[in-house]
A and B are shown apart, each in its own frame.
Chain A
């Protein structure tokens, strides 16, 4: 049972070959674009690598880069094949090449689609990575004298200023850690001693935030310290104050930013996927219609082109059989040898 049979007169074959040549060159450009989109995404993820705990999300840009490079090769060969397609003398040399070519191309095209699906599916992983990374960043904010952590303060400050956010979930995360280093605390003062005694771990906790949480849009000079104390500041109410510091948490801001980036890239990659798919389908039709012409004297007859000779399931079985046989054969040799050994002795 043939899948999608279509009649192809000579004129139509010529038009198909020409159209396919143009299509494959635009698909090459699209492949290059996919590669560069992957590079952009990777660069953006690496810029904020210090606030990410793991690099699981990097699989998305890595896949995009691999697929982009592969599609350059796939489309180059597609253009070469359709240039030779109408020449009866040169087309047969591609015969043995075409079966593995289609298998590899379909694999990479499906991989492109998988990359887009992954970029949505990995949102949760990205979020938990950012949660852990930001929590560490806030904890080590004060350790500007510890090697390996001395830039955490600057990173977190610049992050909060650039993304207009404060803390992990919100600004209250700063109330729960000591973000002022002991080097700058006067341990002889009463206030410091009280605060340190007020909790089990002996940490200096304040109800204040760093300056990078301050919102420039506020009509009032920034209030950083004693945020929960209404009487500490004139004409100030903690509950209704909205513009003083950023209310958005940095985790949400970063997830929002990266999801926006991946949505835009995903839309572009989907259109590249459609383009690549149409190149492969057209090439298959061209191949099958030209194969019917081979060996005939009159090359201008009308032929039939199809997508798959047998049904979908049978074709998949046909492609997987050699692969499975190869894997099984290696197993059989391993099993066979101990049996053969006693037989020979």
Chain B
């Protein structure tokens, strides 16, 4: 029982070939678009690589880049095939390649779907990675004299200014670490000695934040230090003050940014999947109808095109049997022989004989 049979007149075949040629070039452009999208996403992730702990999220742009390149090649081959399809002398040489082509195209569609799913599924991993990365950045903020960490301060400052955020979860993260280096602390002063004694680790902790947390939209000049002390500043209430420093945490800001980026690419990727699927189906129809036409006495007669020769279940079983026989080519021992003899007896007694080594029995 053939799947989705359709009649194709000569003119319809010609139209199909022409339409498919245009569609496959469109698909090449879409492949380039996917490639550029992957590059852009990768660049954006690499820019903030210092505040990320691991690179698991990079699998999304990596797949996009690979799929983009592969689909450019695949669709270029499709355009060549449909250029040759109406020429009876040149079409047969593509016969062998076409099964592999269909497999590749189906694989590309599956990979694109996987990318869309992954971009949602990996949100948790990205959040974990940012959490650890930002915590380290805040801890090493003061180490501007330690090789390997001397740019943490500038990185965190520019990040907070650009994304308008403060700290990891919120600005109170700065109260829990010493972000003023010991080089700039006067250890003879009473205030410093009190603060250092006030906690077990001997750290100089403040209820203050760096200048990069300051919000320019505040009507008041920025208050950085003694944020929890209402009496330290005139007309200031810690609980109700909203505009003085950024209230959003940098982890949330970065997650929002990257999720927006990946969500906005979602519709584009879905439309590319649709285009690739339509190229695949059209090429299958073209292949079957042209092959049927070439077998007729008059090649310009009507022919039938179909998607699958048998229905889905039988096709899958056929493919499974083919795959198993191919696997058995590798097994030369006698254990496989009686099984292959049975398989041969069970198969149709057609003239086609599989080129398998004949069993000794």
Contact = CB atoms under 8 A, between A and B. Distances in A.
The judgment on whether A and B are partners is yes
Contacts of A150: 219
A158 interface: yes
A216 interface: yes
- Between A210, A224, A233, A234, the greatest number of chain B beta carbons within 10 A of the residue's beta carbon is seen for A234
B221 A210 contact: yes
A212 B210 CA distance: 12
B221 A222 contact: no
Given A154-B216, A210-B221, A216 B184 contact: no
Interface stretch (B65-73, B125-133, B153-161, B324-332): B153-161
Contacts of A235: 183-184, 186
A185 B234 contact: yes
Contacts of B224: 211, 224
Given A179-B221, A181-B220, A222 B210 contact: yes
Contacts of B211: 211, 214, 221-222, 224
B181 A212 contact: no
A239 B59 CA distance: 51
Interface in A166-186: 179-181, 183-186
A219 B221 contact: no
Contact of A184 (B153, B158, B214, B235): B235
Contacts of B24: none
B220 A217 contact: no
B246 interface: no
Contacts of A233: 184
A153 interface: yes
A161 B144 CA distance: 21
A164 to B, nearest CB: 11
Interface in B131-163: 144-145, 150, 153-154, 157-158, 161
Contact of A158 (B157, B216, B222): B216
Given A184-B235, A216-B157, A153 B219 contact: yes
A275 to B, nearest CB: 31
Contact of A211 (B214, B217, B219): B214
B246 to A, nearest CB: 12
B210 A221 contact: yes
A312 B52 CA distance: 71
A184 B217 CA distance: 16
B153 A234 contact: no
Task: Give the dominant DSSP class at A's interface.
Answer: loop
Contacts of B186: 234-235
A304 interface: no
A238 to B, nearest CB: 15
A224 B222 CA distance: 10
A144 interface: yes
A252 interface: no
B219 A145 contact: yes
A221 B184 contact: yes
A127 interface: no
B216 A219 contact: no
Given A153-B219, A184-B220, A211-B224, A219 B235 contact: no
A181 B189 CA distance: 32
Interface in A285-312: none
Interface in B177-199: 179-181, 183-186, 189
B214 A219 contact: no
B242 to A, nearest CB: 15
A234 B145 contact: no
Contacts of B217: 154
Contacts of A189: 234
A219 B153 contact: yes
Interface of B: 144-145, 150, 153-154, 157-158, 161, 179-181, 183-186, 189, 210-212, 214, 216-217, 219-222, 224, 233-235
The 8 closest A-B pairs by CB, nearest first: A157-B216, A216-B157, A144-B219, A219-B144, A234-B186, A186-B234, A222-B211, A211-B222
28 contacts: A145-B219, A154-B217, A158-B216, A161-B216, A180-B221, A184-B220, A184-B221, A186-B234, A189-B234, A210-B222, A211-B211, A211-B224, A216-B161, A216-B212, A217-B154, A219-B150, A220-B144, A220-B183, A220-B184, A221-B179, A221-B181, A221-B184, A224-B211, A233-B184, A234-B184, A234-B186, A234-B189, A235-B183
Given A157-B216, A214-B211, 9 more contacts: A184-B221, A210-B222, A211-B222, A219-B181, A224-B211, A233-B184, A234-B184, A234-B186, A235-B183
